[in-house]
Amino acid sequence: MTTLQTTSRILHDLGGAAWFGGNLMGAVGLNGASRVVSDPSDRIPVATAGWARWAPVQAVGAGAHLLGGLGILLANRDRAATHGDVAVNTGTKLGLTVLAAGATFWAGVLGGKLAADGAVPAVSGVIPAEETPAGVKAAQQQLRALQWLIPSLMAVVLALSAQQGEQQARDAGSPEAREAAGWHRFVRRSA
């Protein structure tokens, strides 16, 4: 494995971890904790302020994941084209990553809408109260679903990445791969 491939994997994995973990923490910790803010009109502003602080880190994480994924795909394009199981994994992972990116973008748009609407009564950052205005309520309901969809998509993407590592290890153990890597010279000398 080259330094470029290793760097691509590091970017891909750390970026994916930040994208997954940050969203999961936001759903469980930030949105959950917004319920205990004493003034119901401060719950959305507190949640949106937290997400706004996280947004640049999430953007870097998602960008690193995407850039690293591109590097991995370029380095393994022949395997992805010729090995059926690798192609299925890669296509599935790519599709889910695109969905996660779209959902993340839309969550940012909705969060911006909530921030712009200011202080309105709510049960939490993503749960409206009876008196929450209809437009805010609609955005909150979408965000309530997206807060779980995004880390779920990223969990599957990360699981598929682990599977790809196993596929690559399997393929590296084949006689053809050992021959291409020059392992035959080592085996012959040590025998």
Give tens-digit pLDDT for 19-62: 999 999 999 999 999 999 999 999 999 999 999 999 999 999 99
73 touches 80 (CB < 8 A): yes
pLDDT, average across residues 51-74: 95
Q: In sequence order, what are the residues at sequence separation of 6 or more whose Cβ sits closer than 8 angstroms to the Cβ of residue 99?
A: 153
Ramachandran region of residue 24, left (φ > 0), alpha (ψ -120 to 50) or beta? alpha
The least confident of 10-14, 77-81, 94-98, 129-133 is 77-81
Inform me whether the pLDDT recorded for 171 exceeds 50: yes
pTM, to two decimals: 0.84
pLDDT interval class at 85 (50, 70, 90) = confident
pLDDT, average across residues 106-110: 97
Cα(171)–Cα(180) distance, rounded to whole angstroms? Answer: 12
